[in-house]
A and B are shown apart, each in its own frame.
Chain A
Amino acid sequence: MRGPDPDRARWLASQILPHEPQLRGWLASRVPANLEADDVVQEAYAILAALESVDHIRSPRNYLFQTAHSLILRHLRRNRVVPFETVADMERFGVTCDAPSAEDQVDARQRLAWTRGLLAALPGRCREAFVLRTVLNLPQKEIARRMGLSESTVEKHIGKAMRRLSSAVAHGGIGTLHVSKGAQAQAGDADKLAEEESRRARRRETK
């Protein structure tokens, strides 16, 4: 038992990953004591990666939120805490139904911009090694030869790149212009999230 197969990895990449920042924002105010948002996110990915099939999932975003919600309820039950949440709470975030919603539509161009921003923000040698790995699909050994580095140094660069990308995905944003506002918003309440979004939209208007 290793990682997900390539098809599942691609499904997670295109259908789940883009919603992670918003999920974390939602979790920030809903996660009970003794449970970290990181724990919920990690376990949710484990569940999604291990599913027999994802063909039946019409709204991956809703499925993700529901999974996270179930994990919270399970934690509360185990700690003998009566869940305070109501269905209305989930409905506010539009995740109760199975039908795909507008939010499922992750604009392909936005996604591309997002990943490009992530790549561009990696430090020089690290980015170089990572690009050779993912774009030219060279094995680490070959990258080491080309860059004149030891294999363990290349391994460290790949690890560093993954760590930074992992952080960037968790904190959202498509580049330095958006990131600071978005990261602040994730940390706060869901209401603050919506408020921040409309403030950002107003800021885009000309003065």
Chain B
Amino acid sequence: MPDAGKQNSIDAAAAVWFARMDRGEADPDVSAAFERWLAADVRHQGAYARLCAIQAAMTEESEGRTELAPAPVHSRRRLLWGGGMAAGLAGLGLVGVGWVSGSGTAYASGLGEVRIVQLEDGSSITLNTQSRVRVWLDDHRRRAELEAGEAIFNIAHRSGLPFDIKAGATQIETSAGSVAVRRFDEMSTVSLLVQEGSASIRSEGGATRALGDGALARTDGSGRLDVSVVDAEDLARRMAWREGMIAFEGESLQVAVAEFARYSAVPIIIADPALEQRTITGLFAADDPAGFARTVAMSFGVRARINPDAIRLG
């Protein structure tokens, strides 16, 4: 968020009125006070109308791209077992371990697609290109498995109910916050980036770390766990995909091309091997590999041949 400095007082008052009227209650004194405030100055009307527009904008975009998770598992359980039996099993500590696995609910995104899934507990998951998560939610456990790709988990706080995320053999737990998890082509490599909040990570080898804001953890098949802290700019670069962008800062062309391949079916082929290790810095639209190729070609003084089925550099 940009630093707005002191916000205009009419806009600030309009936000307070907006939230109050949004409660939907018909308290006549409050309604009357609101109407008086509106009538007092044309700018009040404008500020309020503007907020209505902002809400409409957020609703519209959310509706277009978000889907709601189906009812949580526990309601199905009641149908099958009856309340009493479920409570009995809970006492045995069996419920929430084996039984609740079932098959969960899977969400998947297509090539080049960014998809937001809203969960019933107030959490949401933003899937990046070609990604798949499976989710289990009930009164005793909240769990997701990142089966492929990359996702940001915005976890709502639920007292006594942490959110577990599994990615391959790596386990992540958070009680509230925003974490980005990615599985790499070398399937046992997993990265975890804590955008906000805190999380703990446990690698395949059993190494465990607690992480806070800006922490980046990476683990591979060997079980080792590397942790570092990223600055705000680096964090923004790593999250740029939410806005359909890819940001590079000194990555090799080879790595950059591999990144583009995640989002587009049109491969970029580096014809001249000497170009592979040249470095790339910049911000690009993920769905425009041709634009990227043209920019690279211009920068490196090489040719870009752009065809519908492939792009060649060099």
Residues of A in contact with B (beta carbons under 8 Å apart): 1-4, 6, 9-10, 12-14, 16-17, 36, 38-39, 41-50, 109, 111-121, 123-125, 127-128, 130-137, 139-141, 146-148, 151, 155-156, 158-160, 162-177, 179-180, 182-183, 203-207
A-B contacts, CB under 8 A, total: 246
Residues of chain B within 8 A (CB-CB) of A163 are: 7, 11-12, 15
Q: With the chains together, A183 CA to B1 CA distance in Å?
A: 10
Please give me the residue from chain B that is nearest to A140 by CB atom.
Answer: B23
Asked if B244 contacts A17 (CB within 8 A), the reply is: no
Asked if A135 contacts B24 (CB within 8 A), the reply is: no
Please give me the residue from chain B that is nearest to A12 by CB atom.
Answer: B53
B257-290 vs A: 1/0 string, CB under 8 Å? 0000000000000000000000111111000000
Most central of B23, B116, B236, B240 by chain A CB within 10 Å: B23
Please give me the residue from chain B that is nearest to A129 by CB atom.
Answer: B122
Residues of chain B within 8 A (CB-CB) of A118 are: 58
Partner of B49, one of A45, A171, A179: A45
A99 shortest CB reach to chain B, Å:
24
Given A136-B68, A140-B24: A38 and B2 within 8 A (CB)? no
Asked if A10 contacts B56 (CB within 8 A), the reply is: yes
Closest 5 CB pairs of A and B: A46-B46, A159-B19, A12-B53, A49-B49, A42-B46
Residues of chain B within 8 A (CB-CB) of A125 are: 157
Residues of chain B within 8 A (CB-CB) of A171 are: 2, 4
Residues of chain A within 8 A (CB-CB) of B197 are: 124
- Cβ of B90 under 8 Å from chain A: no
- Cβ of B186 under 8 Å from chain A: no
B2-13 vs A: 1/0 string, CB under 8 Å? 111001101110
Residues of chain B within 8 A (CB-CB) of A49 are: 45-46, 49, 52
- Cβ of B76 under 8 Å from chain A: no
Given A1-B35, A9-B55, A206-B296: A177 and B240 within 8 A (CB)? yes
B283-314 vs A: 1/0 string, CB under 8 Å? 11000000000011011100000000000000
Residues of chain B within 8 A (CB-CB) of A160 are: 15
- Cβ of B78 under 8 Å from chain A: no
Given A139-B24, A164-B1: A13 and B46 within 8 A (CB)? no
Beyond A13-B56, A46-B46, A159-B18, 12 additional pairs, beta carbon < 8 A: A12-B49, A39-B43, A45-B50, A49-B46, A49-B52, A128-B154, A134-B55, A135-B62, A158-B18, A162-B19, A168-B4, A177-B237
Partner of A109, one of B24, B56, B232, B244: B244
Asked if A12 contacts B52 (CB within 8 A), the reply is: yes
Partner of B236, one of A17, A133, A175: A175
Asked if B118 contacts A205 (CB within 8 A), the reply is: no
Q: With the chains together, A127 CA to B56 CA distance in Å?
A: 16
Asked if A146 contacts B122 (CB within 8 A), the reply is: yes
Asked if A165 contacts B46 (CB within 8 A), the reply is: no
- Cβ of B48 under 8 Å from chain A: yes
